[in-house]
Structure 1
């Protein structure tokens, strides 16, 4: 059976800015699937982001694009191998122009179950939640 992949399609206001943001996180652009309308960002072997200009994004749906800056449309949780990886990714996102959202109650709940997580928001308002779970069998 072939392995499964996930492609997360994200509408972006400025394709070049968004490509640069994600490249700064250490993720790679797959040039075979990148042009003036879209960029394929490879997170790992099974996860890719498709950054789509808003005009191009509308060709995939008849529904209006949500305001990802003023409202939350999705939370993209990404399991990482250590708390240090979580911190490094979040710090890189902030340095690249993202913002961090701090929720003390959420962090306290995560700590109770052996989890370390942080939240960053990319320049288009997409919310990422890298996390590490410290229990047998995690990751």
Structure 2
């Protein structure tokens, strides 16, 4: 991601593991980190996103460039719901980045604009 092409006004970290990579992006671009809270359904082996909540005033991001960061993507549902929610704000330009995708063989709600690491094999979750 070249900073000359995209210069975000804010980094939006999706709850749980995205705070550390978001802090690194914030340091590089010298911008603040905002936060999205995630409600998960944990009744299945793999937790599923039920709802995302923006934990900031949406007027803050109107007509701005925003980098949305998630730590991992399994189905893409959390990222898609976050992008859809932020995309409702007037004039916002979104770029998404995910640190890790554990498998090529998963249901897909969409792909991030940037993916840093991806496994080429099916990965078994550590916790069941």
TM-score by length of 2: 0.30
> In terms of Rg, which structure is larger?
1
